[in-house]
Copies of this chain bind each other. A is one copy, B any other.
Amino acid sequence: MTDRAACEALDRADPLRSTRDLFALPEGVIYLDGNSLGAMPAHVPDRLATVTTEWGRDLITSWNQHGWMELPYRVGDRIARIIGAAPGTVVAADSTSVNLFKVVSAALNLTDRKVALSDSGNFPTDLYVMSAISDLRIADPEEIVEAIDNDVGVVAITHVGYDTGRMHDMTAITAAAHAAGAVVVWDLAHSAGAMALDLGDADFAVGCGYKYLNGGPGAPAFVYIHPDRMESFRNPITGWFAHEAPFDFAQEFVPAEGISRARVGTPHVLSLAALDSALEVFDGVDMATVRAKSLALTELFMELVDDSGLGLRIVTPREPARRGSQVCLSHPDGYAIVQALIERQVIGDFRAPDILRFGFAPLYVSYVDTYDAVAALVEVIRSEEYTDPRYSTRQPVT
């Protein structure tokens, strides 16, 4: 069994040990909820102060003078590197839900089939968006490939499930979908920033700016378009920033060449600048190293939970190739246990009906954090402190 001293040694040897210092994490907090809202890179407030100075002083001229016009592409290219995509194939815009609407609509537009396939482990917003614009079929997460038949026009799956942390085989599902003549959309909400990715032949992807990318609450999301799909991509929301020449104010819509066509309206500059700034923590970081540490942390967490003898059920797949960067436990009193842990400054979250989620952001979570988190979990359960009624009052969190 790994002890705390061993974890300290692992931290000393961690090639990512210095990135934690780039974050403004409060002393004493063990933050295992970066899969919901990433921690704040310490320099983000300075960047926001810079942007408000620009706005206040240089007003409308800031759009050109301070590069605001370029931000969606600049952030897009930063994210492209992190998700293993080519420059010019990613743009930051809107929310993940709006972006999913765009790309699933565009994907359906590429086929004459009406059926979209997803899985029951997908995040509800994805299912909601798809159900309104397609004949949605929902397969079991383990049976996606089997469920792809020749009626399926679009396969849209979240790569790492929000509920269990299971990770799908992107290459296999993309290949199966293409073999059946379907277009593939990946939602990278729980992948981007937590691992190396190989999008391969995937047609489209979307993802979230506020989880492992640490862009701040409700940070702008992103869209990826495979270079071969760029020309045929039809954005259903034809806003002016998707126009080839928005400042010509022409009456007729002509889609821009390239990734601009995935945009819609004026970018949310304050939020986007925060995301741009936040992404600097990835500068020079090798995503394979991130993935290796992520797997080591989640492995350690599961080992310690197993060894605790509490008999907690781990619902996240054990095989490295099948899990993302979180570990989920299932417990009927999950909500109260999470609240009691938060009281002890170990922050995870709860997802109905009975899931305790612990996310491991390799840039700021340490081996010792992981050790201490399990120790706190064991104490909360063994002492039954979670049964205190104050831990049962529900509040929504995102």
Task: Give the size of the chain A interface in residues (CB under 8 angstroms).
Answer: 89
Contact B253 A351 (CB under 8 A): no
Q: Which of A269-320 contact B (CB under 8 A)?
A: 269-272, 274
Q: What is the minimal beta-carbon distance from A16 to any residue of chain B, in angstroms?
A: 20
Tell me, in angstroms, the Cα distance from A131 to B220 when the chains sit together.
26
Please give, as numbers and ranges, the residues of chain B lying within 8 Å of A127 by CB-CB distance: 251, 253
Please give, as numbers and ranges, the residues of chain B lying within 8 Å of A133 by CB-CB distance: 236
Residue A29 at the B interface, CB < 8 A?
Answer: yes
Tell me, in angstroms, the Cα distance from A254 to B355 when the chains sit together.
23
Q: Which of A353-380 contact B (CB under 8 A)?
A: none
Please give, as numbers and ranges, the residues of chain B lying within 8 Å of A69 by CB-CB distance: 396, 398
- Contact partner, A239, options B128, B218, B397, Cβ 8 Å: B128
Contact A270 B217 (CB under 8 A): yes
- Contact partner, A48, options B52, B219, B242, Cβ 8 Å: B52
Tell me, in angstroms, the Cα distance from A129 to B236 when the chains sit together.
8
**Other 20 A-B pairs with CB < 8 A, given A60-B398, A95-B239:** A24-B57, A29-B59, A37-B55, A44-B52, A45-B49, A45-B52, A48-B52, A63-B397, A64-B397, A94-B265, A120-B251, A123-B240, A124-B240, A124-B249, A128-B238, A132-B237, A218-B266, A218-B272, A248-B352, A268-B271
Contact with B along A222-246 (1 / 0, CB 8 A): 0000000000000011111111001
Please give, as numbers and ranges, the residues of chain B lying within 8 Å of A268 by CB-CB distance: 95, 218-220, 268, 271
A selection of 9 A-B contacts at a CB cut-off of 8 Å is: A37-B60, A45-B48, A45-B52, A48-B270, A52-B274, A98-B239, A98-B265, A127-B253, A217-B269
Contact A131 B238 (CB under 8 A): yes
Residue A39 at the B interface, CB < 8 A?
Answer: yes
* Copy total for this chain: 2
Please give, as numbers and ranges, the residues of chain B lying within 8 Å of A62 by CB-CB distance: 37, 217
Contact B266 A398 (CB under 8 A): yes
Residue A264 at the B interface, CB < 8 A?
Answer: yes
Residue A216 at the B interface, CB < 8 A?
Answer: yes
Chain B residue at smallest Cβ distance from A342: B61
Chain B residue at smallest Cβ distance from A398: B63
Please give, as numbers and ranges, the residues of chain B lying within 8 Å of A24 by CB-CB distance: 56-57
Residue A221 at the B interface, CB < 8 A?
Answer: yes
